[in-house]
Structures are given as C-alpha cells and as structure tokens.
C-alpha cells in the first residue's frame, strides 16, 4: 500500500514538475523505471483510485 501512496503522490505533484526540462536520456530512463514498476505489479487501477478518492480522510 505504501507504493500506492507513492504513485498517487507522483500524480498530484506532476504539475509542479512539468516546468523542469529533462534530457531525452533521462526521460527514457524514467519510462523504463515506470514500465518496470508496472511489470512488477506496482500500480493501481482506475476503479481503485476512484474508491480511494471517495473515502473520507484519504491522504495521498
């Protein structure tokens, strides 16, 4: 579950990071890391996220 919170926080902070320009190499490294996380089962479905959002006192 800690991994779920990390993923959720990354979505919420994405807007702050958009202004940071990264190289193609770094971008590709981030994609590779994200794909590895997904392949290892570290993800949350849309339905699970909606349930979490609708829960009172949900912390991201």
How many residues does the structure list for the chain? 60
**Residue-level pLDDT, tens digit, the chain, 60 residues:** 566 677 667 666 665 555 678 899 999 999 999 999 999 999 999 999 999 889 887 666
DSSP annotation of 55: S
What does the alpha-carbon distance between residue 56 and residue 51 come to, in Å, rounded to a whole number?
10
3-state SS of 4-40 is HHHHHHHHHHHHHHCCCCCCHHHHHHHHHHHHHHHHC
The radius of gyration computed from the CA coordinates of the chain, to the nearest angstrom, equals: 13
Instruction: Indicate the pTM of the whole model.
Output: 0.49
């Amino acid at each position: 579950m800690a991994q779920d919170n990390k993923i959720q926080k990354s979505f919420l902070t994405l807007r702050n990071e958009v202004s940071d320009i990264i190289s193609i190499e770094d971008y590709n490294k981030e994609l590779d890391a994200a794909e590895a996380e997904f392949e290892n089962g570290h993800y949350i479905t849309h339905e699970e996220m909606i349930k979490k959002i609708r829960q009172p006192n949900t912390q991201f």
